[in-house]
Chain A
Amino acid sequence: MQHIITALVENKPGMLARIVGLVSGRGYNIETLNVGPTQDPTLSKMTLVVPGDAHVLRQVTLQVSKLVDVLRVTDVTGKRHIDRELILVEIATESVAQRTEILDLATLFDAEIAGVSQCSITLQLAADSNVISDFMLLLKPYHILDLSRSGRIAVAHTNNGDSPA
């Protein structure tokens, strides 16, 4: 099972290497990883998606929390949370008909048109992972020229008693 772990860390040089080194050094695989600043400029937030069973993930969470520069780590998987992933996908459009088909698909998924050229269209979609998977499935018949995924980011709900990480 995939776990979504968020970590609130000091915004210091080397933090990314520290966390990635610890997680991968213990033999756990990181599927996606996202880092960004928070409302407090001295803190960064990381979201890691790590596959593994609950026992393995408990270890990952506890090990990361032990790091001196880590404030809080939460495995949000079992908690109420919102997670999103952003993708940018460039699709070749070989005919007008094909472009129309792809645009229909974009409307269906609420994907935005990020760019258009004579022979391609670039779509942007921010959604939860199930929607992204469905979208990618429907794009399969087309010729995908390029694809970038942000990795998942998540926030835990504040109103369920758990403080967010």
Chain B
Amino acid sequence: MSDKKENDQIERTGAQCVVEELERNGCDVIFGYPGGAVLDIFDSIYSSPMHLVLPRHEQGAVHMADGYARATGRPGVCLVTSGPGATNTITGLATAYIDGTPMVCITGQVPLPAIGNDAFQEADTIGISRPCTKHNRLIRSVDEIPEAIAEAFYIASTGKPGPVLIDIPKDVQKQFTTMQTPEKVQIRSYTPHFEINNKEVAALAKAINKAKRPLLYVGGGAITAKACKALSELAHKAQIPVTTTLMGLGAFPETDPLSLNMLGMHGHATANIAVSYCDLLISVGARFSDRVTGKASEFAQKAQIAHIDIDPSSIGKSVRVDYPILGDAREALEHLLPLVSENKHEKWLEQLSELKAKYPLKYTVADGDIATQYVLEEVDRICQGNAIVVTDVGQHQMWAAQYITLKEPRTFITSGGLGTMGFGLPAAIGAQLGQPDRLVVAICGDGGIQMNAQELVVAVEHKLPVKTIILNNTYLGMVRQWQEMFYERRYSGVVLSQADRPKNERIEESKPVFLPDFVKLADAHGMNAIRITKPEDVRPTLERVFADRKPWLIEVMVETETNVFPMVPPGMSVAEMIID
């Protein structure tokens, strides 16, 4: 390299490179928790235009980045220190990985020469995160950084998206480089895009045109691929009913007469019956998870199965597939559309609407008690499909999936694949940062909220008007339901109130009965809070609080021992569903 050229080129430290390349890749919010191994990067962030959000736990950082990504479709970015900072991200990464969220996670590492010496705050981050990231990489030279970050964004957001982790040793952050941003990212061993096979599409179109009882079964992949418009056109053109998975909620408006709502373990009866009786099941960006299929060998037994998926390993994994189509869901549907003839399927749709009328969602509640379902009905009535609903994991999550009417993609955010308790609040914070003008509602249980309750303060300090609803049933409700149904009501480790505990879980007859006091907890974090104990207060309180542009915590004391139905008992076939 000539002297002249060298002088022309700007020297940057590794840390400056990280920050500038993140900005260049469109990162406007970064969720970061500092520590010794990332001090240099935090120093560079100090003068960056990026909005830095300090979670109070690294797991919170990753879930926030996840919520941000799910609400916007853009990769979420987080930054943590080595050792405990990195290990604290693992649950968040695994959550994002299984649900296919695009994310870039930067971890600090001990200096290169110290790696392998059990240095202070050293962990084998690459080894630990390998099975829960789409890709990860240890940086060995400062010159790699611009390319590594560009590649990370590319890998995270193409194909089936996922989290990518970059581990950067502290000494590398301090070194200087003249390396510039690569003009183009190309990775010879990585093929995120597949050409749609026209023959396969034609074969599927023929099958659709012949089918008497076709059914579209739609997963989160349709949302990722922006396939919702094409999906709607296909469904309407050939009058094909649509059921979605938990992850697919919002991909097809539930207000559409063709919608059969969610299927699966706690899906609507009609959707599950439709799967059992359809003669052609067209899966779009769904992966036939065990929570959808029940006993896989008996799933959609009367049907031929088409599977459109970008992930080659997903096709044919759990069920036999007659029409495999590898590729982007939107492209596949757009290829399919002109080949599919208009159709009516009158008889099939009529049968389904009879089923819908026969098996509506229903619940009963004693006078004076508040049903969780009722609270969610009220949330739905107020939001009218315009809010972003984020859930935690448990019964309330399933009821939210059932009772909130989803109309648009990216308006229902939930940990589907990993089922991570503690996801709801931080993910809602991330979603609100990504969509500042929308109403964001976090639906949580009294168990799960305690897993990341420390993040309440983040909503307050960034003035995020998230509405956190705690549906307090005083139990780890979903586990209690299984213990009631399959373990003779032996409530082991699920009673959250101080009363009615099994003997070996009680320390002493203690007061107060309800611990913690969530309203006081919110108060301690500077958040407005209110507790609802009477059914008649639900509507006016929610209306008032939802209209306020401040963060709120709303605790609702709900009926304690209600079960979620319908339910396909684990390992059973969909036909063995318990309706109520």
B117 at the binding interface (Cβ < 8 Å): no
Which of A9, A66, A71 has the most CB atoms of chain B within a 10 A radius of its CB? A66
For residue A25, CB closer than 8 A to chain B, the reply is yes
Nearest opposing residue in chain B for A21, CB measure: B130
Taking CB atoms, residues of chain B closer than 8 Å to A65 are 312-313
Contact B316 A58 (CB under 8 A): yes
Closest to B313 in A: A62
- Asked if A127 is at the interface of the complex by the 8 Å CB criterion, the answer is no
Q: Is A128 interfacial (CB-CB < 8 Å)?
A: no
Asked whether, in the complex, the Cβ of B131 is within 8 Å of the Cβ of A21, the reply is yes
Residues of B within 8 A of A70 (CB): 189
A63 nearest CB neighbor, chain B only: B313
Q: Is the CB–CB distance between A17 and B190 below 8 Å?
A: no
User: Beyond A58-B316, A59-B313, A59-B317, is A25–B131 a contact (Cβ under 8 Å)?
Assistant: yes
Q: Is the CB of B130 within 8 A of A68?
A: no
A22 to B133, CA, bound (A): 12
User: Can you give 22 A-B contacts (C-beta < 8 A)?
Assistant: A9-B189, A14-B126, A17-B130, A21-B127, A21-B130, A21-B131, A58-B316, A62-B312, A62-B313, A63-B313, A65-B312, A66-B311, A66-B312, A66-B313, A67-B135, A68-B134, A68-B135, A68-B155, A68-B187, A68-B190, A69-B189, A69-B190
Given the complex, which residues of B lie within 8 Å of A10, measured CB to CB? 189
Known: A68-B155, A68-B187. 20 other contacts (CB 8 A): A10-B189, A13-B138, A14-B138, A17-B127, A17-B130, A21-B127, A21-B130, A25-B131, A58-B316, A59-B313, A59-B317, A65-B313, A66-B311, A66-B313, A67-B135, A68-B134, A68-B189, A69-B135, A69-B189, A71-B189
- Bound Cα distance from A59 to B126, whole angstroms: 24
- Give Cα distance in the complex from A13 to B312, angstroms: 26
Residues of A within 8 A of B134 (CB): 68
Kindly state whether residue B184 has any CB partner on chain A within 8 Å: no
Any chain B CB within 8 A of the CB of A18? yes
Cβ-defined partner of A18 (8 Å) among B130, B155, B188, B313 = B130
Within 8 A of A (CB), among B124-170: 126-127, 130-131, 134-135, 138, 155
Q: When chains A and B are docked, how far (Å) is the Cα of A65 from the Cα of B311?
A: 11
* Size bracket, chain B contacts: 10 to 19
Complex interface: chain A residues within 8 A of B188 (CB): 71
Chain A 26-61: CB-based contact to B (< 8 A → 1; otherwise 0): 000000000000000000000000000000001100
* Closest Cβ–Cβ distance, residue B410 to chain A (whole Å): 25
Closest residue of chain A to B191 (Cβ to Cβ) is A65
Q: Which residue of A lies closest to B188 (CB)?
A: A71
Closest to B140 in A: A13
CA separation between A63 and B317, bound complex, in Å?
A: 11
Listed from nearest, the 9 A-B pairs whose CB atoms lie closest are: A62-B313, A68-B135, A71-B189, A68-B190, A62-B312, A63-B313, A25-B131, A69-B189, A21-B130
CB proximity of A2 to chain B, nearest CB, Å = 21
Instruction: Bits for B292-327, please: 1 = Cβ < 8 Å to A, else 0.
Output: 000000000000000000011100110000000000
Closest to A71 in B: B189
Contacts of A66 in B (CB 8 A): 311-313
Alpha-carbon separation in the docked complex, A120 to B491 (Å) = 68
Bound-complex Cα distance A67 to B160 (A): 12
| Smallest Cβ-Cβ distance to A62: which chain B residue | B313
Minimum C-beta distance from B398 to chain A (A): 28
**In the complex the two chains form, what is the Cα distance from A25 to B189 in whole Å?**
22
CB-CB under 8 A from A21, the residues of chain B are 127, 130-131
Separation in Å of the B158 CB from the closest CB of chain A? Answer: 11
How far is B313's CA from A22's CA once the two chains are assembled, in angstroms? 13
**B131 to chain A: which residues have CB within 8 Å?**
21-22, 25
A-chain residues with CB within 8 Å of residue B312 when the two chains form the complex: 62, 65-66
A70 nearest in chain B by CB position:
B189
* Docked pose: A18 CA to B190 CA in angstroms: 15
Please indicate which of the listed interface residues B312, B313, B316, B317 has the most CB atoms of chain A within 10 Å of its own CB: B313
Chain B residues with CB under 8 A of A9:
189
The B169-192 residues at the A interface (CB cut-off 8 A) are: 187-190
Tell me which residues across on chain A come within 8 A of B135, comparing CB atoms.
Answer: 67-69
Which chain B residues lie closer than 8 Å to A63 at the CB level?
313
A70 and B187 alpha carbons, distance in the complex (Å): 10
Contacts of B313 in A (CB 8 A): 59, 62-63, 65-66
Question: CA A65 – CA B138 in complex, angstroms?
Answer: 21
Contacts of B126 in A (CB 8 A): 14
**How distant is the Cα of A69 from the Cα of B312 in the complex, in angstroms?**
16
B357-385 residues at the A interface, CB under 8 angstroms: none
Cα A70 to Cα B189 in complex, Å, equals 5
- Taking CB atoms, residues of chain B closer than 8 Å to A68 are 134-135, 155, 187, 189-190
A71 to B398, CA, bound (A): 41
Cα A69 to Cα B191 in complex, Å, equals 10
B130 CB contacts on chain A under 8 angstroms: 17-18, 21
Smallest CB separation, B365 vs chain A (Å): 45
CA distance A58 to B134 in the complex (A): 20
Residues of B with C-beta under 8 A to A22: 131
Contacts of A59 in B (CB 8 A): 313, 317
Within 8 A of A (CB), among B441-467: none
- Across the interface, which residues of A come within 8 angstroms of B311, CB to CB? 66
